[in-house]
Amino acid sequence: MSAPTSGLVLAIDTAFDACSVAVFDPLRGAMVACASEELGKGHAERLPGMVDAVLAQADTSFGAISRIGATIGPGSFTGIRVCVSAARAYGLALGVPVVGVVTLHAMAEAWRRNRPILAVHDAKRGEVYSMLLSADGEVMAPPSALAPDKLPEWIAQAGGAVDLVGSGAAVALAVLAANRPEADSPTIVSDRSAIDMSTLARLSIDASAQHLPKPLYLRSADAKPPSRRVSLFDAAS
């Protein structure tokens, strides 16, 4: 991890079903306050109140925030727009850096141990979103949308057994284990696509703030997004 920033990090995630907010103290390397609700939809309406509540829980204010980190995808098309737009709006209002973190990176990093780890999210329509990290956290294969049967070739550089995390882990296991010796069989460490907010905050500290974050869409939306703006957050997209 790079040198800690002064002030607190506000971390926001609405990329999947959950709406999550956290306040993290880089100097202590610890979470100050966190809240998360499984919503499925309605993130834009719930997020502002949750931010206020978490700041109150942390006994702090917006003035103490020195950096904002947000998940940028892949994930729910609408959820990603909400998260990125909200983070940019808060950053503009507060005059602080805003950084983006790939959901798959946060998923993999939270469970990374002593061997390569593949984050794999069920993207539906016969595809998975995947990203491969090495045992030391380096990106071996960047975020991609691909058919599950392409995974063996796609992660060949891992060279051996990998850990699996995400809603597509079971699908990946079936494909990857088919033609491998038992010693090289993958292991599912989590079958959920969920963001650990402490990991998101830590990755936000290291992320470059040179450019404002943008949504990471690995394919077009499953449904056309609404044309009517539902909140001020969309104005920052």
Q: What is the pTM of this model?
A: 0.89
| pLDDT tens digits, one per residue of 49-59 | 999 999 999 99
Which domains does the chain carry? 8-103+194-236 (3.30.420.40), 107-190 (3.30.420.40)
Q: For 177-219, how does the pLDDT look when each residue is reduced to its tens digit (9 = 90+)?
A: 886 766 678 999 999 999 999 999 999 999 988 889 999 999 8
Burial level of 20, CB count in 10 A (0-12/13-18/19+)?
buried
For residue 168, the 8-state DSSP code is: T
The DSSP code for 160 is S
Which of the listed ranges 37-46, 62-71, 155-164 does the model predict with the highest average pLDDT?
A: 62-71
65 and 179 Cβ atoms separated by less than 8 Å: no
pLDDT value for 83: 97
Q: Quick one: pLDDT band at residue 235, thresholds 50, 70, 90? A: very low
Residue type for position 182: E
Contact at 8 Å (CB) between 12 and 47?
A: yes
